[in-house]
Chain A
Amino acid sequence: MRKLLFEILVKPPLTEDAPAPDEAAVAELARAVDQAARRRLGRSLAIRQVDAGSCNGCELEIHALNNAYYDLERFGIRFVASPRHADVLLVTGPVTKNMREALERTWAATPGPKWVVAAGGCAKDGGCFAGSYAVTGGVAGVLPVDLHIPGCPPRPVEILRGLLALLA
């Protein structure tokens, strides 16, 4: 273990430079996030991720944000365990009917000001599961969505770009 720790000291970090915030996402957000709210956040963002019926592909890429290459926490963005500590709900999946109530309750438990980010094609409009008897068809039908990050799943850098736009 000592060897491994020593290597960490002498080797350059793997972490990559931050991507530029997504232009379109910034424009979309300018409408949603006002200056006052941004001051209250103090450039730090607590995210509660909610899987509302995803295939788990989106979760894998959200997870990747914590690895050494993306190192999400350096931006003051972190994932929290409880909606009560969250500023943002990051929702994935087509919102299955079996998850709808849990999603609504999670939102209700999140204190304001709060934002909803829908990640992935499913979260936008049900994606390839749209039309099924078992899904409601996207987050916007259930919660007010402030930002949508497209992709199936979006790459970590795309998720990062979207989240940075929240702080821009």
Chain B
Amino acid sequence: MSEMRTPVPDAPSLGELLAAGRAVPGHRPWPRAVVDVDDWGLAAECLTQGSVTLLGLWGEAEAVHMALLDEPAAAIGVLSLSCPEGRFPSVGELHAPAIRLERAIQDLFGLEATGLPDARPWLDHGRWGFRRPLGNAERAAGAAPPYPFLPVEGEHLHRIPVGPVHAGIIEPGHFRFTASGETIVRLEQRLGYVHKGIEGLMTGADLARGAELAGRVSGDSAVACALAFARAAEAALQVEAPRRAQWLRALMAELERLANHFGDIGAICNDAAFSLMHAHCGVLREQVLRAADRSFGHRLMRDVVVPGGVAHDLEPQGAAAIAAMIAEARRRFPPLVELYDNTASLQDRTVGTGILRPALARRFGAGGFIGRASGRGFDARRAMGYPPYDELEFLVPGLEAGDVDARVWIRIREVEQSLGLVEQILARLPGGPVREEIATAHAVHEGMALVEGFRGDVLAWLRFDASGRIERCHLRDPSWFQWPLLEAAIEGNIVADFPLCNKSFNCSYSGHDL
């Protein structure tokens, strides 16, 4: 990873970076500006200094875009660089969090990130039958080339290759451990196994098809991804979902958060060989999914959030089912928290294990419980204040320790907050329609959204063409910035603690690979 650079004196603000370029009309709700190569480079310098945070970096046939966040001001902006020559200056050369994103851009669009320190393919395993499938596509036949893992030198080191098929019921990916005895010296991840070409399928899709795909980016975040897509589309088309729909969306988002947090708290304890927690948390998770099913007709609430609102209203018995589930969780969860807190053998495994340093979490803009357990308090619900969160009361918990234990505690606190949010929503759920019809637009519109999923902030960006179809849609899962941090956090831990650390991060393979 690149060293921190000496600061540029008087680093420009996000507003100044945007003002230096040509503003693009019709990009909502935040500004987008086309900049020149120098200002693109200046933005990369700002990233290394931490005056702005990288929210996303994506390509299209002849341009690259980077989304930046000015955290204290809660301001967002997109800088674009057109690259007719098929090249752009690498951001990853200065700012490591951009490296994998640029490798993906190279694979998908064939745009070259000049200066990129690691130019190995990332999503392209040489098996698609095409190179640059979303750019100037070219047939590529022949056997898949071997992947050059990073060289390791040193005495008494051994390597342990794991995956892509793992021992449990989990998604596929390859982990290459280099260990000295029991201690991990380096972990190198290789991902891309579940790349489905979602962004390719998005191109040319209509709104309904786009929403269907967005809801299938990462199954555990079906609501969050669909919500990010819907809000981006609504921003582009200047439509606002009815008030009741916005509250129902938040209800679903909090149920999704509860289900995942319950499931994962149990699973983390299970990986620390404490299966009692797993069994009890599994019951709580199941109860959330059943309440969701009764309320919205689907256990994962898939295809319910749609552009313009929600596909259908809460089922008549839904509110009562959710209220009963919440009451049950309020009764059953506290003894489990006490059990976690008071079991020395469990704490022995989680405290001090897999530490992610706050500086690194900040630099990578780590979202969700991973960031919040390492001192980065960002939560899109609070920072962006999208409705109805601007009217609801909740706390964003934060810790500094950055170990497995801290990540568990953040999730425990978030469960408590979500229980309260669901109660508030049920008590104050406004009436009225749940869906606004969206007429097909016949002009180019661009929109983006940032939404807080259980795992962190999900970014969606899209452009409609003049026929109202999606010309380009990019969905950035929080895992893009979290996976590399797992490589850092695992260093110096023992191999046997990897499952525990991995589960405490619980990054999405599908959301990352797309």
Contact = CB atoms under 8 A, between A and B. Distances in A.
Contacts of B218: 55-56
Interface stretch (A27-35, A130-138, A142-150): A130-138
Given A68-B279, A153-B219, A56 B171 contact: yes
Given A55-B216, A56-B510, A102 B172 contact: yes
A51 to B, nearest CB: 5
B227 to A, nearest CB: 16
A62 B167 CA distance: 15
A69 B286 contact: yes
B195 A55 contact: no
Contacts of A69: 283, 286
Interface stretch (B28-36, B52-60, B121-129): B121-129
Contact of A98 (B125, B200, B201, B213): B125
Interface string A58-93: 111111101111000000000101110000000001
B169 A4 contact: no
Contacts of A59: 169-171, 219
Contact of B285 (A51, A67, A99): A67
Given A54-B171, A56-B171, A56-B220, A4 B280 contact: yes
A56 B219 contact: yes
Contact of B171 (A51, A98, A134, A135): A51
A98 B125 CA distance: 6
A82 B162 CA distance: 13
A135 B282 CA distance: 33
Interface in A99-118: 99-102, 106
A61 B200 contact: no
A98 B170 contact: no
Given A55-B216, A68-B283, A128-B213, A96 B193 contact: yes
Interface string B172-202: 1000000000000000000011111110110
Contacts of B420: none
A62 B169 contact: yes
B128 A133 contact: yes
Interface string B235-274: 0000000000000000000000000000100000000000
Interface string B279-313: 11011011001000100000110100000000000
B406 interface: no
Given A1-B276, A62-B169, A128 B222 contact: no
B164 interface: yes
A97 interface: yes
B93 interface: no
Contacts of A135: 196-197
Contacts of A131: 201
A63 B343 CA distance: 25
Nearest to B173: A51
Given A1-B276, A153-B219, A57 B283 contact: no
A39 interface: no
B169 A63 contact: yes
A53 B169 contact: no
A133 B130 contact: yes
A46 interface: no
B283 A134 contact: no
Contacts of A50: 165
Instruction: Name which of A62, A83, A102, A132 has the most chain B CB atoms within 10 A of its CB.
Output: A132
A82 B200 contact: no
Contacts of A128: 201, 212-213, 216
Contacts of B302: 57, 152
B335 interface: yes
Given A67-B282, A134-B133, A152-B302, A54 B164 contact: no
A4 B276 contact: yes
A99 B172 contact: yes
A54 B129 contact: no
A51 B194 CA distance: 8
A3 interface: yes
B144 to A, nearest CB: 8
B127 A58 contact: no
Contact of A67 (B168, B283, B510): B283
Given A53-B196, A128-B212, A153 B168 contact: no
A100 B128 CA distance: 11
B339 interface: yes
Contacts of A133: 128-130, 133, 197, 200
Contacts of A93: 194
B482 interface: no
Most chain A CB within 10 A, of B125, B165, B193, B263, is at B165
A74 to B, nearest CB: 14
A58 B219 contact: yes
A106 B167 CA distance: 12
Contact of B194 (A57, A98, A155): A98
Nearest to A59: B169
B508 A134 contact: no
B128 A134 contact: yes
B217 interface: yes
A134 B196 contact: yes
In this complex, the member of B127, B171, B194, B343 whose beta carbon has the largest number of chain A beta carbons within 10 angstroms is B194
Contacts of A102: 164-165, 172, 193
Nearest to A67: B282
A79 B299 contact: no
B165 A106 contact: yes
Nearest to A132: B197
Contacts of A82: 167
A110 to B, nearest CB: 12
Contacts of A58: 219
Interface in B121-150: 125, 127-130, 133, 144
9 contacts: A55-B216, A56-B218, A56-B508, A63-B169, A99-B194, A101-B144, A102-B193, A133-B128, A133-B200
Given A51-B172, A54-B510, 11 more contacts: A51-B194, A53-B510, A56-B219, A57-B302, A61-B299, A79-B169, A81-B168, A98-B127, A99-B172, A99-B193, A132-B201
When A and B form their complex, which 8 residue pairs have the shortest distance between CB atoms, in order from nearest?
A57-B219, A134-B197, A132-B197, A81-B167, A67-B282, A56-B219, A55-B219, A97-B127
